[in-house]
Amino acid sequence: MIAEPPESGQESTQPSRRMAFAQQELRLISALVLLIGLGLFLALPFVLSIGSVVFLPVTTAIILTIILSPLADKLAGWGVPNILASFIALLAFFAILILALALILQPATALFDSLPQMFETAGERFSELQAEFAWIAMANERISDLMGQSGASEVVLAGPSVIEQLALATPSLLLETLLTLLMAFFMIEARVRLRRHLLFDRASSYGTSIKAARVLREVQDRVAAYILTVAWINGCVGIVVALGAWMLGVEAPVMWGGLAALLNFLPYIGPLIMTAVLALFGIGTAETLLLGLIPAAAYLALHTVESNVITPSILGARFTMNPVMILIALSYFSWIWGVFGALLSIPILLMLTAFFDHVGKPNLVGFIFGEPLFATNLMGLGSEDSAADHSA
């Protein structure tokens, strides 16, 4: 007895059902990945903050390796041995850092003794300004009387002094600095073996190895190019600020230039701190309030031109980042590691941006409305690699 062939409708419905089931399965996996990523994002600060003694030197060493590897590669290309090239690259960075800190800290210690006098002068200037707007204080007092509010006494507990805090933090800081430099040296020295391992010593397909090496190269090139370019721009900003401070007769112009260059590595936050410090110094040393605000106003004008005209034209679209993402990274890593986290936030953000440019950025908003989480079909990458291997 001959079996009847299946109907054409049944043949068309089976692949469609299979495709619908595969889409539901992929969406469920994407939802699980999204939930795991959100949980890691919320739990990571507590882990990194508690284990900052371990994770902060490792992260700093990785970023130093990315920044200094091009210099070590160039020295190795000139015939310098790999170990010596790695040591020279790290030594050059350490020498520049020590020189910059010496130019800033040495005049700053001389100005530290005059801080009480500066605060007293600034208080007198603000008292004079407050006397001109005394009617505002009177209005506030009337409003407080009408609302029945009274001044409450405040108890201030004495904490450890700055010198005591520095004395307690110095041994730990020296240990972490030594660990960071040692790890950075060994990572820079091992960069050639890492590239060889990614390309030849892995059991996966050749196409996957090429993609991993390409991602590593892109991360290194982008972070190193950004840091070096921003360093040149900030150095020029420091020179201009130092010359401007010298022309205005401000004390220790080299210190102000170096401080402006260092703080300019922190987007948005650094220039605000620099403006506030210049305003406090100017008000505390100048004869009048308007004269004291001239250095801060001049620096604010310079920063406006630099951040809106010069830096975007030099960096271009390749290094353009969303300001919201920059502020999130600053607040996120500042919460974890303080000032060091703020300095490392932009390189870490660049590393993640370069990584997601190759892997694919998640479509979070579209995923809520039924779209795939990734625009690229990640499930098909393995088949493409295998096809490339067979064709080769």
- Residue range 306-354, pLDDT digits in tens: 888 888 788 766 666 777 888 888 888 888 888 888 888 888 888 888 7
Q: Taking all residues of the chain, what is their mean pLDDT, rounded to a whole number? A: 75
- Reported as a single tens digit per residue, the pLDDT across 10-65 is 555 666 777 766 677 777 777 787 788 788 878 888 888 888 888 888 888 888 88
CA dist., res. 353 & res. 305, Å (int): 27
383 band by pLDDT with thresholds 50, 70 and 90: very low
Ranges of H-type helices in the chain: 8-50, 52-77, 82-112, 115-132, 134-147, 162-189, 191-199, 206-248, 253-263, 269-285, 289-292, 294-305, 311-315, 323-337, 339-359, 364-368, 381-391
For 362, the 3-state DSSP assignment is strand
**Residue 130 counted as domain residue:** no
Q: What pLDDT is stored for residue 41 in this prediction? A: 79
Burial of 146 (0-12, 13-18, 19+ CB in 10 A): exposed
Q: What pLDDT is stored for residue 283 in this prediction? A: 79
- Reported as a single tens digit per residue, the pLDDT across 245-259 is 888 887 788 888 888
Domain that holds residue 76: 52-108+177-201
Evaluate if residue 155 carries a pLDDT over 70: no
**Residue 3 counted as domain residue:** no
Q: Is the dihedral of CA 330, 333, 337, 343 positive or negative?
A: negative
Winning range, highest mean pLDDT, from 38-42, 93-97, 218-222: 93-97
Evaluate if residue 262 carries a pLDDT over 80: yes
Angle at 36 between CA 33 and CA 40, to 5 degrees: 135
**Residue 378 counted as domain residue:** no
Give the mean pLDDT of 204-212: 67
**Residue 84 counted as domain residue:** yes
Q: What pLDDT is stored for residue 390 in this prediction? A: 43
73 band by pLDDT with thresholds 50, 70 and 90: confident
Q: Which has the higher per-residue pLDDT, 27 or 273? A: 273
Query: Which one, of 96, 100, 71, lies nearest residue 86 by Cα?
Result: 71
Question: What percent of the chain has a predicted confidence (pLDDT) above 90?
Answer: 2
257 near 245, Cβ under 8 Å?
Answer: yes
Q: Which has the higher per-residue pLDDT, 166 or 15? A: 15
240 band by pLDDT with thresholds 50, 70 and 90: very high
**CA distance to 9, 129, 290, 313, per residue, from 134 (Å):** 87, 9, 20, 47
**CA distance to 2, 10, 14, 20, 319, per residue, from 7 (Å):** 15, 5, 11, 21, 58
Q: Which has the higher per-residue pLDDT, 324 or 124? A: 324
**Residue 356 counted as domain residue:** no
**Residue 33 counted as domain residue:** no
347 near 332, Cβ under 8 Å?
Answer: no
For 374, the 3-state DSSP assignment is strand
Q: How many domains are there within the chain? A: 1
Give the mean pLDDT of 203-218: 70
Q: What pLDDT is stored for residue 4 in this prediction? A: 53
Winning range, highest mean pLDDT, from 96-100, 107-111, 191-195: 96-100
**Residue 94 counted as domain residue:** yes
Q: Which single residue is written with the structure tokens 């009847």?
A: 4
Give the mean pLDDT of 119-132: 62
Q: What pLDDT is stored for residue 69 in this prediction? A: 86
Evaluate if residue 166 carries a pLDDT over 50: no
**CA distance to 111, 120, 271, per residue, from 115 (Å):** 7, 9, 21
Tokens of 102: 């010496």
CA dist., res. 79 & res. 81, Å (int): 6
Q: Is the dihedral of CA 44, 50, 52, 58 positive or negative?
A: negative
Q: What pLDDT is stored for residue 248 in this prediction? A: 81
DSSP 288: S
Evaluate if residue 148 carries a pLDDT over 60: no
Question: Residue 33's CB: how many other CB atoms inside 10 A?
Answer: 13
**Residue 270 counted as domain residue:** no
Q: What pLDDT is stored for residue 152 in this prediction? A: 47
Evaluate if residue 126 carries a pLDDT over 70: no
